[in-house]
Chain A
């Protein structure tokens, strides 16, 4: 382990995870406040919807970085991973709520959109995959489910991939920003393929 990793690990031993939950409320609260007072730009609903969705994707990617970071650098942030995962779920729930209640509004159209439109179907799929993960992100579930807990939480892999594809598909034309996100996601998934993951572990 490098001295940098040791310093960070020493530091994280002292910093608890719980403040993350409080800090996480600030971005969506700020977005909502700005939306209400009218300082969120010209199309505030879309801005809110897209921004909170992007936060969700970013925190999810951060969650996915915890394991490779420990494997490749020795930096151990595992105590924050549950908080990151739950914050992801919170943001994506906000994203979905903005879409339901402020954007589409019309229930018949919502259902038609979910069934008929691939990028919404894919986004909904990612959200549904995350529900059991959020529900079981507690010590009691880990004890109850034992080995199955680890298996269940592999659902995050299809969920993050669907999230990245959802972002790519909702833009008009093929755009750079979602491609960058999708590339990062694919790299993070490839790092978990047995040959790569095992080789690294063996060397460590």
Chain B
């Protein structure tokens, strides 16, 4: 539906993607260290092939799905999305990927399922950052089923038409463009369909600061900084901050998912 070319063109309108150097050189991927350049330095240690995702929970066809299995049943397309970090910086990224709903259809979501839980690889030998308990490992994230099924929600496998760099979450990661970046979990090894809201890493670490929803919202501040504006990466030192858009600019497409919900309560 929304995945149609027209919708995509409209979304990509006046979005100037950041350079690959910016996208792959400035990352939060704490498994490789907490510095913004640590992932670029150390993520090469991660073995990304072979790779498989363990799909389980309330699905018709549970099991280990290899990358080949997954990619054979989906359509890869380019999506140029805004990316807004909870730390109040932003980029524009030209992802290559497929809609998560295609994968979920492939595995058959059972009727009682209400949420999707995701898990990142945890490999102490390949991830120098996990020596430090910055957050609880492995990194876990989750979406409500309707969020997961939304046509804007993709599983990304590439950037700029090339395989996704390791520091950006190779070989396969989630991208939910209307939520803060940490919801878009990287290097996924496990997907589980469940009927209750799954635990999520930053929520476990600090529930007051990071909610389950974490939708981009300029009117609900992070307790330690304002979310009203953002620093656009790539603008140089004298660049003006930009106003943050409701749902990161995807309000038309996603606001209906949260109708009737108090967004300052469900942050």
Contacts and interface: CB of A to CB of B under 8 A. Distances in A.
A173 B233 contact: no
Given A35-B237, A118-B224, A176 B229 contact: no
Nearest to A105: B241
A117 B222 CA distance: 9
Contacts of B236: 38, 44
Nearest to B25: A42
B229 A106 contact: yes
B223 A109 contact: no
B198 to A, nearest CB: 20
Contacts of A170: 224
Contacts of B225: 113, 117
B89 interface: yes
A36 B236 CA distance: 7
A42 B233 contact: yes
A146 to B, nearest CB: 42
* Best-buried of A35, A109, A169 by chain B (most CB within 10 Å): A109
A7 B240 CA distance: 53
A119 B224 contact: yes
A43 B89 contact: yes
B22 interface: yes
B141 to A, nearest CB: 15
B264 to A, nearest CB: 15
Contact of A117 (B26, B223, B228, B241): B223
B67 to A, nearest CB: 29
A42 B134 contact: no
Interface in A155-175: 169-175
Given A42-B233, A43-B26, A109-B229, A169 B224 contact: yes
Nearest to B134: A173
A175 B35 CA distance: 10
A62 to B, nearest CB: 24
Contacts of A176: 34, 132
B226 A113 contact: yes
Interface string B215-229: 000000101111011
Interface string B26-57: 10101000101100000000000000000000
Contacts of B134: 173-175
A45 interface: yes
Nearest to B18: A42
Contact of A173 (B21, B205, B223): B205
Contacts of B206: 173
Nearest to B210: A172
Nearest to A170: B224
* Best-buried of A35, A44, A172 by chain B (most CB within 10 Å): A172
B234 interface: yes
A104 B228 CA distance: 11
A96 to B, nearest CB: 16
Given A41-B37, A43-B36, A173 B135 contact: yes
B87 interface: yes
* Best-buried of B28, B226, B234 by chain A (most CB within 10 Å): B226
Contacts of B114: none
A48 B206 CA distance: 28
B231 A109 contact: no
A156 B126 CA distance: 43
Given A36-B237, A102-B238, A173-B205, A42 B22 contact: yes
Interface string A22-53: 00000000000001101011111110100000
Interface in B121-145: 132, 134-135
Q: Which 7 A-B pairs have the closest CB atoms?
A: A42-B26, A35-B237, A173-B134, A44-B237, A42-B22, A42-B25, A117-B224
Given A43-B231, A173-B134, A173-B206, 19 more contacts: A35-B237, A40-B237, A41-B26, A41-B36, A41-B37, A42-B21, A42-B26, A42-B233, A46-B89, A48-B237, A105-B240, A105-B241, A109-B228, A120-B224, A172-B28, A172-B34, A173-B30, A173-B205, A175-B134
21 contacts: A35-B237, A41-B26, A42-B26, A42-B36, A42-B233, A42-B234, A43-B231, A46-B89, A48-B237, A103-B231, A106-B241, A113-B225, A113-B226, A116-B221, A117-B225, A169-B224, A171-B34, A172-B28, A172-B87, A174-B134, A176-B132
